[in-house]
Amino acid sequence: MVLNPPLLHTLLILLSLSTTITSSLPSQSLQDSPPYLWPLPAKFSSGDETLSVDPSLSLTVAGNGGGSPIVRAAFDRYMGMIFKHAYNRASSLLTRIRFLSMVEYDITSLKIIVHSDSEELQLGVDESYTLMVSKNNELSIVGAATIEANTVYGALRGLETFSQLCAFDYLTKSVQIYKAPWFIQDKPRFQYRGLLIDTSRHFLPVDVIKQIIESMSFAKLNVLHWHIVDEQSFPFETPTYPNLWKGAYSRWERYTVEDASEIVRFAKMRGINVMAELDVPGHAESWGTGYPDLWPSPSCREPLDVTKNFTFDVISGILADMRKIFPFEFFHLGGDEVNTDCWKNTTHVKEWLQGRNFTSKDAYKYFVLRAQQIAISKNWTPVNWEETFSSFGKDLDPRTVVQNWLVSDICQKAVAKGFRCIFSNQGYWYLDHLDVPWDQVYNTEPLNGIHDPSQQKLVIGGEVCMWGETADTSVVLQTIWPRAAAAAERMWSTREAVSKGNITLTALPRLHYFRCLLNNRGVPAAPVDNWYARRPPSGPGSCYAQ
Using CA atoms, how far apart are residues 530 and 519, in angstroms rounded to an integer?
Answer: 16
Q: Is 120 a catalytic residue?
A: no
Q: Is 250 exposed, middle or buried (0-12, 13-18, 19+ CB in 10 A)?
A: exposed
Which DSSP helix (H) or strand (E) runs through 515?
helix 508-520
* Separation of alpha carbons 331 and 535, rounded Å: 34
Alpha-carbon gap, residue 275 to 329, rounded angstroms: 8
User: Letter for the amino acid at 245?
Assistant: W
Q: Give the Cα separation of 276 and 333 in Å (integer).
A: 9
Q: Which residues pair with 330 in a beta bridge?
A: 381
Count of Cβ atoms closer than 10 Å to residue 106 Cβ? 20
| Strand partners of residue 109 | 58
DSSP letters spanning 374-392: HHHHTT-EEEEEHHHHHHH
> Which residues are CB-contacts of 280 (< 8 A; sequence separation ≥ 6)?
303, 304, 315, 333, 334, 335, 367, 368, 371
Strand blocks (E) in 71-135: 107-114, 129-133
Residue 17: what residue type?
A: L
With beta carbons less than 8 A apart as the criterion, state whether 423 and 464 touch.
no
Helices (H), 291-335: 309-323
Length of the chain: 546
User: Could you say which of 104, 258, 337, 496 is catalytic?
Assistant: 337
Angle at 443 between CA 123 and CA 400, to 5 degrees: 30
Q: Annotated active-site positions, please? A: 337
